[in-house]
């Protein structure tokens, strides 16, 4: 006997019960160790999740994929490491700790104490790694949680030191001065990766128009435009497009402006165009700077230069240039010899030398600048300008561009080497390879330094006296070279502030030198994990056993410039080989409306909330069935739809089986003789093995959506065809060979499906497997089972074709019934089916009996002539042939509409046009209209057509009423909680028509409803009473259960 199954299951509750059972029985530990002696290995490297907050549903998406393939490979017998990763260094942790402490700047952190601050960062990582571990377990994500790696670990940091030392030995590591995007709140620069990936926001800035007065050209000015007024303080030049046409414009005041001709609309007042010049004709002109009076601007020569990087869609076509506050401007300045003025400190405050601006924040000075420019007579106008502008992805502060010294890894030599390594990897989806190569081709040198506190301590020691710098490659090298401060550092992790105590001797001048204060770019932390987690430094044989990884997975839009790039770069430097063989990536998550999810918008969904409301199996199936190349629209409604689509139908089939198997005391140990299998049994077992082959092949090719859709199709077959068409085999009394065959077939399907979907839905599969198989008949857990292997000898493709034809025609026939407004329970006299090929006619002959039952029809006729079902009529398309043929349009119209439809259509075949009586006719010149035969309603799909006879005789209507009565009684039984096998007595009060139904179909009604008696009475004295309307006939029925 099986445990009874509640058809109204609470899935989240069921999951929690299964979770407790796993813990009580040590299932996860058994799973992790099951393949320990296997000679097959599957190496997976986890992209570390940032341990900084609880998980959101987008984290669960990625972790579902990771768990899916590890479970699949485990059930195939592969030995694995099951190592989860936590990312725990970097500014994202710092920002949250700052919030908790109420700190607002780097100054306040230093006052608080770097040591205490760093310890709190470590504590935050510990807190949220524990929370995420618990949430991941709730997701059903099975890993060796006690062996999770942390990027903050000493081993991870020291392995990066080794990488950086090699970069230095190769000549790829350098300190450079450049204008970088900079967060004034966080006091650090951002790399190109960070800006491009998630660093832009729609903002409104002032679009400021300013007049730069030309020297030696009285009353003439260059009209410039900027959205960053603060950068005017550092202007040293302007540039124009050498080949574009600029207008010389005179205002009513007599002033003359130069403006790009295509941007004359920016001048709102009356004006006159005096002439035109090309940009290169203005090259070299000098002008008065807007802030020549500032000390910092002393001796600066402001001049016009030419550059093709000029937009014709915004501004004036004359670009104000501040090389110390803009990346493109800085590059132009080096080419054109413009002076470079750096205006800001690390907090976005003006430095000394900027007069009244010094000490003020860039966020405070716009209005004062406007007034100052007006006083100087060079302010023209200002407007609101909405555009995308870079912001700090950590704290949302608008970035500034600042001239800074940072540390870089040069890409000049590495770029092609990384590209060669990248091409050796299989990318899923395939477009990922081209996107990654394009990024490598165009990216700048990798900025690896951050002027912060919590992170990798860059092992770079620089001598301020001679300029020499040295890179330490290990903790042993640091100890050997240390000449001062080891006591303060020893026993601590290699982080600030402890490592800042250590000094080494400069190999060039013998001075004692300090480590630079910078910490590392956090993508160094994550990129090194194929080496640090496999003990690359200390046990090369172990590393070789597991390197490269067979498979990695993360979101493509977020990681192809970040984690994927850092993995590729660091592996190229260390081994010049791919760190992984296959990379599976996926798109982004959106809410149900397609909008980005954000806490501030109120549409973000936390993992815990989703798990407890919709259940994690629903989430996991939603993730798995989605095409990973497309954005996923996630929400509670979408999850409900997925549950209705697969989980509930599967559960209903399972519940159906258990209910009737318990009634008949079915024992799975009693095997059915294959000779007793019906055609439907053989068909569904064939489809089961086709499914096993399809799912396995899809997972091997990293196509989860294809695998999931195959399962959904099979469950549809199982529920809506096999079970529905076999119900009477389960319902009938007794337990004969045919019934045992039906039970055995359905049992096998459910057990194999539970194994097949175990990697997708670990809770549901366990619940079904435990009840159907149990420890006595199988493994302790479905997750200790082997993955199913297809038995090709059972697959019958011809049987699949036949049944597929029956299902397709039945669907079309039901559509015709719906079109005619005739319920399926109402019998009809005949149907006519159009089939296109002789093969289909032969196939149909063996499924005709199924079709008769499915369509509830007395007879089905086959035809290969469409005109037997409907007639065709040609209708001229006058909107086309009128203009096309002019005065001859009516002649062509009559020619078409009097043609025999089949003859006309045969002239076209695969052609788009043909000659008819001297007229070139195309298939757009007419429409083909199908006219149903009298008394028939026709539906069609995919070239098949089914017509049903809609004339209902009195006898057919009477039978239809009998079937409606059966349906109503069955519903009343169910709603009243009667046992499925319980006999009943039926009493009824009605008019004569119901008496005729009982007289003609009473035996059928009694058989279908398990009624011992059907009695017409004057007064109902039954246990359950209902008032019904059956096809317009009013009837009162009463049901009484019998012992």
Range in 537-546, 689-698, 780-789, 857-866 with the lowest mean pLDDT: 857-866
Cα 580 from chain centre? 22
Distances 260 to 50, 247, 269, 322 between C-alpha atoms, Å: 49, 6, 16, 20
- Phi-psi region at 422: left, alpha or beta (left = phi > 0; alpha = psi -120 to 50): alpha
pLDDT value at position 200? 80
pLDDT value at position 197? 52
Distance, in Å, from the CA atom of 349 to the CA atom of 346, rounded to the nearest integer, reads 7
Rounded mean pLDDT, 856-870: 89
DSSP assignment of 919-934 equals EEEETTSEEEEEEEPT
Burial class (CB in 10 A: 0-12, 13-18, 19+), 830: middle
Residue among 40, 215, 213, 55 at smallest CA distance from 141: 55
Instruction: Tell me the pLDDT band of 529, cut-offs 50, 70 and 90.
Output: very high
Cβ–Cβ contacts within 10 Å for residue 270, how many? 8
Structure tokens at 557: 């839009």
Distance, in Å, from the CA atom of 221 to the CA atom of 373, rounded to the nearest integer, reads 14
pLDDT surpasses 70 at 195: no
Distance, in Å, from the CA atom of 712 to the CA atom of 724, rounded to the nearest integer, reads 17
User: Whole-prediction pTM value?
Assistant: 0.84
Q: 3.90.740.10, 2.30.40.10, 3.30.390.50, 3.40.190.10: which CATH number matches 201-390?
A: 3.90.740.10
pLDDT surpasses 60 at 474: yes
pLDDT value at position 933? 83
pLDDT surpasses 80 at 198: no
| C-alpha angle 448-449-455 in degrees, rounded to nearest 5 | 100
Helices (H), 718-796: 724-731, 737-756, 762-772, 774-777
pLDDT surpasses 80 at 191: no
Strand partners, 566: none
pLDDT surpasses 70 at 978: yes
Distance between the two ends of the chain, CA-based, in angstroms?
22
- Strand, helix or coil for residue 164: helix
Distance, in Å, from the CA atom of 120 to the CA atom of 112, rounded to the nearest integer, reads 12
Structure tokens at 1000: 């003609």
Distance, in Å, from the CA atom of 687 to the CA atom of 610, rounded to the nearest integer, reads 34
pLDDT surpasses 90 at 836: no
C-alpha neighbours within 13 Å on the C-beta side of residue 259: 27
Distances 475 to 166, 554, 634, 962, 1018 between C-alpha atoms, Å: 15, 32, 47, 88, 99
Tell me how many helices (H) and strands (E) the chain has. Answer: 37, 40
Residue among 54, 45, 55, 12 at smallest CA distance from 589: 55
C-alpha neighbours within 13 Å on the C-beta side of residue 329: 27
pLDDT value at position 739? 94
Distance, in Å, from the CA atom of 846 to the CA atom of 38, rounded to the nearest integer, reads 48
Distance, in Å, from the CA atom of 94 to the CA atom of 105, rounded to the nearest integer, reads 11
Instruction: Tell me the pLDDT band of 415, cut-offs 50, 70 and 90.
Output: very high
pLDDT tens-place string over residues 245-295: 999 999 999 999 999 999 999 999 999 999 999 999 999 999 999 999 999
pLDDT tens-place string over residues 101-158: 999 888 899 999 999 999 999 999 999 999 999 999 999 999 999 999 999 999 999 9
Query: What contacts 600, CB < 8 A, 6 or more positions away?
Result: none
Q: Which residue reads 């296109």 in tokens?
A: 836
What is the enclosing helix (H) or strand (E) of 160? Answer: helix 154-169
Q: Are strands 469-471 and 482-484 parallel, antiparallel or unpaired?
A: unpaired
pLDDT surpasses 90 at 306: yes
Strand partners, 271: 251
Asked whether the beta carbons of 258 and 282 are under 8 A apart, the reply is: yes
pLDDT tens-place string over residues 1003-1042: 999 998 999 999 999 999 888 998 888 888 888 999 999 8
Instruction: Tell me the pLDDT band of 974, cut-offs 50, 70 and 90.
Output: confident
pLDDT value at position 901? 84
pLDDT tens-place string over residues 901-914: 878 878 877 677 88
Distance, in Å, from the CA atom of 774 to the CA atom of 21, rounded to the nearest integer, reads 13
Distances 963 to 299, 967, 1022 between C-alpha atoms, Å: 101, 6, 22
Distance, in Å, from the CA atom of 137 to the CA atom of 866, rounded to the nearest integer, reads 59
To the nearest whole percent, how much of the chain has pLDDT over 90?
Answer: 77
Instruction: Tell me the pLDDT band of 192, cut-offs 50, 70 and 90.
Output: low
Distance, in Å, from the CA atom of 788 to the CA atom of 794, rounded to the nearest integer, reads 14
Whether CATH 3.30.70 fits 954-1041: no
Domain boundaries, the chain: 1-33+604-785, 201-390, 459-515, 801-867, 870-932, 954-1041
Structure tokens at 142: 């099975």
C-alpha neighbours within 13 Å on the C-beta side of residue 1018: 0
CATH class of 1-33+604-785: mainly alpha
Residue among 893, 895, 910, 901 at smallest CA distance from 928: 901
Helices (H), 3-105: 11-25, 27-33, 57-75, 91-101
pLDDT tens-place string over residues 755-764: 999 999 999 9
Distance, in Å, from the CA atom of 474 to the CA atom of 959, rounded to the nearest integer, reads 89
Distance, in Å, from the CA atom of 285 to the CA atom of 246, rounded to the nearest integer, reads 15
pLDDT surpasses 70 at 194: no
pLDDT value at position 186? 82
Residue among 560, 475, 466 at smallest CA distance from 511: 466
Q: Which residue reads 């979907």 in tokens?
A: 757
pLDDT tens-place string over residues 735-779: 899 999 999 999 999 999 999 999 999 999 999 999 999 877 889
Q: What is the mean pLDDT of the chain?
A: 93
pLDDT tens-place string over residues 155-173: 999 999 999 999 999 999 9
Distance, in Å, from the CA atom of 839 to the CA atom of 168, rounded to the nearest integer, reads 73
Instruction: Tell me the pLDDT band of 728, cut-offs 50, 70 and 90.
Output: confident
pLDDT tens-place string over residues 79-101: 999 999 999 999 889 999 999 99
Rounded mean pLDDT, 498-522: 96
Residue among 470, 532, 455, 467 at smallest CA distance from 502: 470
Report for 17-31, 194-208, 354-368: range of highest mean pLDDT: 17-31
pLDDT tens-place string over residues 795-818: 999 999 999 999 999 999 999 999
- 684 vs 672, which has greater pLDDT? 684
pLDDT value at position 134? 98
pLDDT surpasses 90 at 193: no
pLDDT value at position 817? 94
pLDDT tens-place string over residues 610-655: 999 999 999 999 999 999 999 999 999 999 999 999 999 999 999 9
Range in 491-495, 551-555, 602-606, 721-725 with the lowest mean pLDDT: 602-606
pLDDT value at position 318? 94
Instruction: Tell me the pLDDT band of 867, cut-offs 50, 70 and 90.
Output: confident
Asked whether the beta carbons of 515 and 458 are under 8 A apart, the reply is: yes
């Amino acid at each position: 006997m099986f445990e009874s199954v509640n058809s109204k299951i609470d899935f989240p509750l069921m999951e929690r019960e299964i979770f407790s059972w796993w813990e009580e029985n040590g299932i996860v530990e058994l799973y992790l160790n099951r393949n320990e002696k296997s000679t097959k290995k599957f190496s997976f490297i986890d992209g570390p999740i940032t341990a900084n907050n609880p998980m959101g549903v987008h984290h669960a998406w990625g972790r579902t994929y990771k768990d899916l393939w590890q479970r699949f490979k485990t059930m195939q017998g592969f030995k694995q490491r099951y190592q989860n990763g936590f990312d725990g260094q970097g500014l994202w942790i710092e920002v949250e700790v700052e919030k908790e402490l109420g700190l607002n700047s780097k100054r306040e952190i230093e006052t608080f104490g770097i040591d205490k601050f760093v310890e709190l960062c470590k504590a935050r990582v510990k807190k949220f790694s524990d929370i995420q571990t618990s949430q991941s377990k709730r997701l059903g994500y099975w890993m060796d949680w006690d062996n999770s790696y942390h990027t903050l670990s000493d081993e991870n940091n020291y392995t990066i030191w080794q990488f950086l030392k090699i970069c230095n030995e190769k000549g790829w590591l350098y300190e450079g001065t450049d204008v970088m995007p900079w967060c004034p709140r966080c006091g650090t620069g951002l790399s190109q990766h960070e800006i491009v990936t998630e660093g832009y926001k729609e903002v409104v800035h002032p679009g400021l128009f300013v007049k730069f007065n030309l020297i030696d050209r009285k009353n003439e000015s260059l009209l410039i435009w900027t959205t960053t007024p603060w950068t005017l303080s550092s202007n040293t030049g302007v540039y124009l497009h050498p080949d574009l046409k600029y207008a010389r414009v005179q205002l009513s005041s007599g002033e003359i402006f130069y403006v790009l001709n295509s941007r004359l609309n920016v001048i709102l007042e009356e004006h006159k165009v005096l002439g035109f010049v090309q940009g290169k004709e203005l090259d070299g002109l000098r002008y008065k700077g807007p802030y020549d009076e500032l000390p910092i601007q002393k001796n600066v020569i402001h001049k016009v230069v030419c550059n093709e990087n000029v937009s014709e869609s915004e501004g004036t076509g004359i670009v104000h240039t501040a090389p110390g506050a803009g990346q493109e401007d800085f590059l132009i300045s080096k080419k054109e010899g413009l002076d470079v003025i750096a205006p800001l400190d690390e907090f976005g405050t003006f430095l000394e030398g900027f007069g009244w601006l010094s000490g003020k924040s860039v966020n405070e000075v716009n209005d004062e600048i406007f007034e100052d420019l007006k006083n100087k007579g060079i302010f023209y106008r200002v407007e609101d300008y909405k555009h995308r502008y870079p912001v700090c992805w950590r704290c949302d502060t608008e970035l500034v561009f600042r001239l800074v010294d940072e540390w870089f890894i040069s890409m000049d030599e590495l770029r092609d080497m990384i590209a060669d390594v990248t091409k050796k990897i299989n990318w899923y989806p395939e477009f990922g390879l081209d996107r990654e190569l394009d990024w490598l081709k165009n990216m700048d040198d990798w900025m690896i330094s951050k002027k912060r506190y919590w992170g990798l301590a860059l092992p770079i020691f620089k001598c301020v006296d001679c300029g020499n710098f040295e890179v330490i490659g290990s903790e042993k090298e640091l100890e050997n070279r240390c000449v001062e401060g080891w006591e303060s550092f020893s026993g601590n992790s290699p982080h600030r502030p402890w490592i800042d105590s250590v000094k080494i001797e400069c190999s060039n001048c013998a001075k004692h030198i300090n480590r630079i204060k910078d910490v590392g770019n956090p993508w160094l932390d994550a990129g090194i994990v194929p080496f640090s987690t496999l003990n690359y430094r200390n046990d090369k044989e172990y590393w070789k056993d597991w390197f490269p990884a067979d498979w990695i997975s993360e979101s493509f839009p977020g990681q192809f410039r970040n984690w994927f790039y850092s993995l590729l770069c660091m592996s190229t430097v260390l081994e010049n080989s791919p760190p992984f063989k296959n990379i599976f990536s996926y798109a982004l998550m959106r809410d149900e409306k397609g909008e980005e999810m954000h806490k501030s918008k109120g549409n973000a969904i936390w993992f815990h909330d989703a798990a407890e409301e919709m259940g994690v199996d629903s989430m996991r199936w939603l993730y798995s069935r989605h095409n990973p190349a497309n954005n996923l629209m996630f929400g509670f409604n979408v999850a409900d739809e997925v549950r209705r689509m697969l989980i509930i139908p599967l559960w209903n089939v399972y519940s159906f089986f258990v209910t009737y198997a318990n009634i008949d005391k079915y024992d799975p140990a009693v095997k059915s003789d294959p000779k007793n299998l019906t055609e439907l049994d053989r068909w569904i077992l064939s489809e089961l093995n086709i499914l096993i082959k399809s799912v396995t092949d899809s997972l091997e090719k990293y196509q989860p959506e294809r695998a999931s859709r195959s399962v959904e199709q099979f469950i549809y077959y199982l529920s809506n065809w096999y079970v529905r068409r076999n119900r009477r085999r389960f319902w009938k009394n007794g337990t004969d060979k045919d019934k045992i065959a039906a039970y055995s077939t359905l049992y096998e399907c459910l057990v194999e499906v539970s194994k097949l979907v175990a990697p997708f839905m670990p809770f549901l599969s366990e619940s079904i497997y435990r009840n159907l198989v149990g420890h006595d008949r199988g493994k302790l857990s479905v997750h200790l089972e082997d993955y199913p292997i297809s038995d090709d000898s059972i697959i019958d493709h011809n049987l699949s074709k036949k049944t597929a034809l029956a299902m397709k025609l039945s669907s079309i026939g039901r559509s015709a019934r719906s079109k005619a407004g005739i319920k399926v329970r109402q019998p009809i006299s005949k149907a006519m089916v159009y089939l296109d090929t002789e093969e289909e006619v032969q196939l149909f002959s063996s499924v005709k009996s199924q079709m008769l039952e499915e369509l509830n029809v007395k007879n089905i006729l086959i035809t290969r002539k469409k005109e037997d079902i409907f007639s065709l009529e040609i209708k001229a398309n006058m909107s086309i042939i009128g203009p096309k043929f002019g005065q001859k349009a009516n002649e062509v119209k009559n020619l078409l509409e009097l043609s025999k439809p089949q003859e006309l259509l045969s002239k076209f075949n695969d052609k788009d046009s043909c000659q008819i009586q001297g007229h070139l006719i195309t298939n757009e010149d007419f429409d083909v209209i199908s006219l149903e035969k009298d008394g028939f309603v026709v539906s069609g799909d995919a070239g098949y057509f089914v017509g049903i006879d809609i004339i209902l005789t009195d006898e057919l209507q009477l039978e239809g009423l009998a079937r409606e009565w059966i349906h109503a009684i069955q519903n009343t039984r169910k709603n009243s909680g009667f046992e499925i096998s319980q006999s009943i007595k039926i009493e009824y009060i009605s008019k004569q028509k119901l008496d005729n139904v009982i007289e003609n179909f009473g035996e059928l009604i009694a058989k279908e409803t398990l009624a011992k008696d059907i009695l017409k009475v004057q007064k109902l004295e039954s246990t359950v009473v209902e008032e019904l309307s059956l096809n317009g006939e009013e009837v009162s029925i009463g049901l009484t259960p019998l012992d």
